[in-house]
Amino acid sequence: MQVATTGLVLRQVKVGEADQILTLLTPDLGVISASAKGSLRLKNKLFSASGLFCYSEFTLTSGRSHYFVDSAQVKKVFHGISDSVEAMCLATYMAEIALSLSPAPPEADAQLRLLLNSLYMIGQKRLPLRQLKTIYELRAMSMAGYQPDLLACVSCGRYDGGEFYFDPIEGNLLCADCADKARHIPNLDAGALYALRHICLAEDKKLFSFTLSPSSLKNLSRVSEQYLLAHLEHGLKSLDFLKTVLE
C-alpha cells in the first residue's frame, strides 16, 4: 500500500554501498523507519530529499516492519545548521529528543512543527543557541504530557517576587521562603521564572519572542536540562557532546 506524507529526516543509517534507512518524523504516521535504496548516490532521485534534517514530501510503500521510499521531493533545507559545529550538535540533540519522545498522531504534528521552527531559528542565528536548546527542551516535554505546574508556589501560593525553586522531579515551584523550609536552594531568578512560564504556556507564534540575560539563561538552562532528563529517565548521547562545544 502506498502512502504520501511529509517528514523530517531525524537519522540516517547507511546500509551497504549506497542505501540508507531513514528515521522520519511525520505528522500523520509519527516516527517511522523507511528504506531509501540508492539514496547515497549523488545522481539518485532520492539523494537531495533524504539528507539529515531535510523536510521533504515522501511517497512510501508500507512493508512488514518499516516503509520503503518510492519518491521524495525537498520542501525545506535548513542551510544555516551546517555553518557551525555548535549548531549541528544542537540540531542533533533536538532530533534525539524527538526520537526519545516518539510522538504518535495527532501529537506528532505539533511536535514536528516545534522541531521545524526550532531548526529554522538555529539557522537564523538570531537567538543564543543555549536559549533555543532550553525552549525546545521545555516545550517538547510540555507538549508530550510533562507540562510542569507553574502557576504559583505549591506551598503558599505566591506567584512572583524574588527567587524561586523549580523542582525538576516534581515539576512545581517553591518561593524562596518555602524552599528554605524544605531545604532547597532557589535556582530561578525573576527573569528565568518569567521565561519558564513563557516557554511552557505561550501560544506558538510567540514562543521565541523573549529576551533573557546571560545569568538568567544560565539558571534556566540548567533547570530545563535537569527536568528533561528526569522525565525521559535516560541520558542522551548527543547531550554529552553538545556540552563540550556549547558556550
- The answer to whether the CB of 190 falls within 8 A of the CB of 209 is no
Q: Measured over all CA atoms, what is the biggest interatomic distance in the chain, rounded to whole angstroms?
A: 66
Residues 165 and 61 in one domain: no
Indicate if 71 and 122 belong to the same structural domain: no
Alpha helix locations (H) across the chain?
85-101, 107-124, 129-141, 176-181, 190-201, 214-232, 237-245
Query: Do 224 and 151 share a domain, yes or no?
Result: yes
Its pTM stands at 0.96
Domain final position from 39, 57, 77: 77
The helix/strand/coil state of 160 is: coil
**Residues β-bridged to residue 36:** 20
Q: How far apart are CA 243 and CA 245, in angstroms?
A: 6
Q: How would residue 89 be classed by pLDDT, with cut points 50, 70 and 90?
A: very high
Q: Is the pLDDT of residue 1 over 90?
A: no
Q: C-alpha cell of 193?
A: 521564572
Q: Based on the domain organization, do 97 and 143 belong to the same domain?
A: yes
Q: Are residues 153 and 224 in the same domain?
A: yes
122 with 91, same domain: the answer is yes
Both 85 and 199 in one domain: the answer is: yes
Which residue from 135, 117, 95, 100 is spatially nearest to 225, judged by alpha carbons? Answer: 135
Question: How many of the other CB atoms lie within 10 Å of CB of 2?
Answer: 11
- Residue type for position 30: G
Q: Which domain holds residue 145?
A: 81-245
Percent of the chain with pLDDT over 70: 100
65 — pLDDT class (breaks 50, 70, 90): confident
CATH code: domain of residue 25: 2.40.50.140
**Which band of pLDDT confidence, cut at 50, 70 and 90, is reported for residue 201?**
very high
What's the chain's average pLDDT?
96
Same domain, 161 and 70: no
Confidence of residue 233 (pLDDT cuts 50, 70, 90): confident
CATH of residue 171's domain is: 1.20.1440.120
117 and 161 together in one domain: yes
What is the C-alpha to C-alpha distance for residues 135 and 43, in angstroms, rounded to an integer? 38
Q: Are residues 97 and 59 in the same domain?
A: no
Confidence of residue 64 (pLDDT cuts 50, 70, 90): confident
pLDDT level of residue 79 (50, 70, 90 thresholds): confident
Mean pLDDT of 188-206: 97
**Is the pLDDT confidence value at 247 over 80?**
no
Distance (Å) of CA 82 to CA 77, 78, 86, 206: 11, 8, 9, 26
Give the 3-state secondary structure of residue 125.
coil
Domain boundary among 12, 43, 77: 77
- The total number of structural domains in the chain stands at 2
pLDDT for 203-213, tens place per residue? 999 999 999 99
Same domain, 94 and 40: no
Query: From CA 210, how far away is CA 127, in angstroms rounded?
Result: 10
Confidence (pLDDT) at 20: 97
Question: Per-residue pLDDT tens for 95-149?
Answer: 999 999 999 999 999 999 999 999 999 999 999 999 999 999 999 999 999 999 9
Together in a domain, 95 and 168: yes
Kindly write down the DSSP assignment for every residue of 28-69, as one continuous string: TTEEEEEEETTTTSTTSTTTGGGSTTEEEEEEEEE-SSSEEE
pLDDT computed for residue 246 by the predictor: 87
